[in-house]
Amino acid sequence: MNRLRHDGPLIVGAGLAGLSAALEAARAGAQVLVVTPEPLLNACSSAWAQGGMAAALTAVDSAELHARDTEAAGAGLVQPDVARTLTGVGRQTVEWLAALGAPFDRDADGGFVVSLEAAHSTPRVARVGGDGAGRAILSAVVAAVRAEKRIQVWDDARLKALAQDADGRVVGAVIARGPHAKRIEIAATAVVLATGGAGGLFAATTTPSALKGEGMALAALAGADLLDPEFVQFHPTAIDVGLDPAPLATEALRGEGARLVDGQGRFLLGAEDDADLKPRDVVARAVHAARMGGRGAYLDARAAIGDEFPHAFPAVFAACMRAGLDPRQSPIPVMAACHYYMGGIAADADGRTSVPGLYAVGECAATGVHGANRLASNSLLEACAFGRRAGQAAAGEIGGGRSLPAQGAPDLPEPAMAELRAAMTAHAGVVRTAEGLAALIALIDRLQAEYGPAAPLLAARLIAQAALDRRESRGGHYRADYPQTAARAEHTRVRLARPAAMEAAE
């Protein structure tokens, strides 16, 4: 294996969280190396975000109101101080991005145009070009990263393992680079994981399917604390046209009056004005039930949006038209699909994990902001705001000792991955039961016996086991056999014992 000494932080992942961290670390004077498996802007969830960035931007809104909505959505498990740390920098974060060139939609007075999404008590989502926020915001950050001399980007490198010294401090990472997956061990002053979520573990997902919870799995093997691995958010309006991943029909469509209907044309969630903007888990279960009941589920935008569709929601319109469906003429077939991972590597607002030298930001991190159910469009805000803080913190790290031989995890071949994904959607999806989760864990055992302890298998196991152990329903986690929410909200905390972690990796 080749070895390389990098005198600065190593950032793994190039979505909004990773690149925000990279920019701030570089601006703090650090030399930054970013490694990512794909060219910038490809295959990261941030670029696919349609809705936008939640922030208190209007005269009727406030950071406190935004924090309260965040707490209410999170079903008892949001950490109030961290939520306030985040919402308190909402405007500042949007303005920082606007200064980098992110072309947020503006009104005639130059104010930010904001959309309404589910569980927000007021319109609060700063958007770009209707439904193009993620790509436009990330493009501005990518341009700034490219202009920054202290940042080097390798866009053909995949994380294989974390390297630790004798004290357990993370002192670098092993990556596989290039078409021949050449192994390189990079020694760095700190490692910032910005590896995204776990949507690729599910057959029905709106996220890039390459994201399989591997950052969480490798951090767990390094002994990092995990928080609430069972909490997955399912989006109710993934467009069901047989594509993997499924294109998204943004919630902002319902904010503009589009309605969910079943195959018989009845409103799925009732006729009141705000019925379709109930919390995302409630809507996801209604869509799931309509489909399981054979009635089908559709998003009807004909009356509310109609001919405005191509201009108002160009990304959704293009996705529908590519699938041969004109949303001005026909309701859009929808399904619930994995959309966001709330659990993950326990981290504070600066991205610090329980392992010295290891930071986690964005979707792979669980900072306590999302609890059991993320408030829509809080994720881009968290990615940027806490990514920036993590970059500043990581820039101050000075590194550790010599690395011990790094433990990696084997790859999982495609047919096994397909089997795992189908079982995750069936048993760890919108509706879960003890029976289904036990069957899923049995499948993971079988695949592990056959293929070894691959990182996606460990990530799936962490989700399934925590879902089995949580005998209640809360936020995105719904147990048909335990439909009640317990009076006391408790977190799930997981730490693999290091010797067990090492054994799992052998």
Q: What is the pattern of x (binds ligand SIN, CB under 6 A) and - over residues 316-345? A: -----------------------xx-----
Question: Looking at 76-84, 309-317, 376-384, 453-461, which segment touches ligand SIN (CB under 6 A)?
Answer: 376-384
Minimum CB distance to ligand SIN smaller for 71 or for 185: 71
160 Cβ contact partners less than 8 Å away, ≥ 6 residues apart: 173, 174, 175, 176, 183, 406, 408, 409
Residue 164: how many other CB atoms lie within 10 Å:
26
Piece in contact with ligand SIN (CB under 6 A), picked from 244-252, 281-289, 291-299, 454-462: 244-252
- Tally of CA atoms within 13 A in the half-sphere of 255 that contains its CB: 25
Contact residue for ligand SIN among 9, 18, 51, 476 (CB under 6 A): 51
**CA 439 to CA 473: how far, in whole Å?**
19
Q: Which tokens belong to 321?
A: 């038209």
Binder of ligand SIN out of 165, 240, 251, 262 (CB under 6 A): 251
Q: Which of 242, 337, 231, 232 is nearest to 288 (CA)?
A: 337
Our finding on whether 377 is near ligand SIN (CB under 6 A) is yes
Q: Which residue's CB is nearer to ligand SIN, number 61 or number 251?
A: 251
**Alpha helices (H) along 293-346:** 309-312, 314-322
The Cβ of residue 481 has, within 10 Å, a number of other Cβ atoms equal to 13
Catalytic pick from 127, 177, 259, 280?
A: 280
Q: Does the protein bind ligand SIN through residue 50 (CB under 6 A)?
A: yes
For residue 447, give the H/E element and its range: helix 434-451
Q: Which is nearest to 221 in space by CA: 358, 349, 343?
A: 358
Written as one letter, the residue type at 492 is: T
Q: Is residue 280 flagged as an active site residue?
A: yes
From the list 92-100, 188-196, 263-271, 374-382, the region that binds ligand SIN by CB under 6 A is: 374-382
CB-wise, 37 or 130, nearer to ligand SIN? 130
Asked if 379 touches ligand SIN (CB under 6 A), the answer is: yes
* Binder among 232, 349, 376, 431 for ligand SIN (CB under 6 A): 376
In whole angstroms, the minimum distance from the beta carbon of 74 to ligand SIN comes to 14
Count of residues near ligand SIN by CB under 6 A: 10
The answer to the question of residue 250 lying near ligand SIN (CB under 6 A) is yes
**Among the candidate windows 102-110, 143-151, 207-215, 248-256, which touches ligand SIN by CB under 6 A?**
248-256
**How far is residue 396's CA from residue 98's CA, in Å, rounded to a whole number?**
27
DSSP annotation string for 375-395: PTTHHHHHHHHHHHHHHHHHH
Footprint of ligand SIN (CB under 6 A): 50-51, 250-252, 339-340, 376-377, 379
| Residues with active-site annotation | 280
